[in-house]
Amino acid sequence: MESPEPSAPGLLAVDLGLRSGLALYGPDGRLKTYRSQNFGSQSRLKRAVPSVLAGTGELAWLVLEGGGPVADVWEREASRRALPVLRVSAEDWRERLLYAREQRSGGQAKDAADGLARRVIAWSGAPKPTSLRHDAAEAILLGLWGVLEVGWLSQVPPEVRAR
């Protein structure tokens, strides 16, 4: 997951799990790359996290959704690199990005997240997905929340918000 602008520090958003979604944003607030990665086991995750972080280029922020032992692995490596971490629950970022009517059920929230993530991809000029896994879509929105939170964007772009 290489950044096209290695000299500009980015923000990496991770929807945590042994199958994780990863989304890299540039300091302009636009999505650069995204993917889903299956680490398979806790031990493979521990071995992979340093290379995942190294492969993104310079980072200014790491944004994590979730907790537990998987989050601990990412936070330890971020601490070793003196990389600031924002940790948020899905409910918190969804509250900021999705309408209440889109959060009435898990299925509605997933459908709304998929549509919003696709609009972020289009607005950013990032490569279009052949298929968009749920964890990658969630990482994209987590990253959008992150760039808003750190002030790289002042608001959700109208092209993304438009329905």
99-116 confidence digits (pLDDT tens): 888 877 777 777 888 889
Q: How far is CA 133 from CA 12, 40, 82, 93, in A?
A: 17, 16, 30, 18
83, 62 Cβ separation under 8 angstroms: yes
Under DSSP, the state recorded for 80 is: H
Tell me, yes or no, whether 160 lies in a domain.
no
CA 54 – CA 69 distance, rounded (Å): 21
| pTM assigned to the model | 0.91
In the prediction, which pLDDT does 163 show? Answer: 55
For residue 60, what is the enclosing H or E element?
Answer: strand 59-65
- Overall domain count for the chain: 1
Tell me, yes or no, whether 120 lies in a domain.
yes
Tell me, yes or no, whether 163 lies in a domain.
no
Tell me, yes or no, whether 3 lies in a domain.
no
Tell me, yes or no, whether 37 lies in a domain.
yes
Q: Which residues contact 144 (CB under 8 A, 6 or more apart)?
A: 25, 31, 97, 116, 120, 153, 156, 160
Q: What is the CATH number of the domain that holds 20?
A: 3.30.420.10
Helix 90-97 and helix 106-124, axial crossing angle in degrees, nearest 10: 60
Over 70: is that where the pLDDT of 128 sits? yes
Give the domain range for residue 148.
10-155
pLDDT in tens, 42-54: 999 999 999 999 9
For residue 50, what is the enclosing H or E element?
Answer: helix 42-54
58, 6 Cβ separation under 8 angstroms: yes
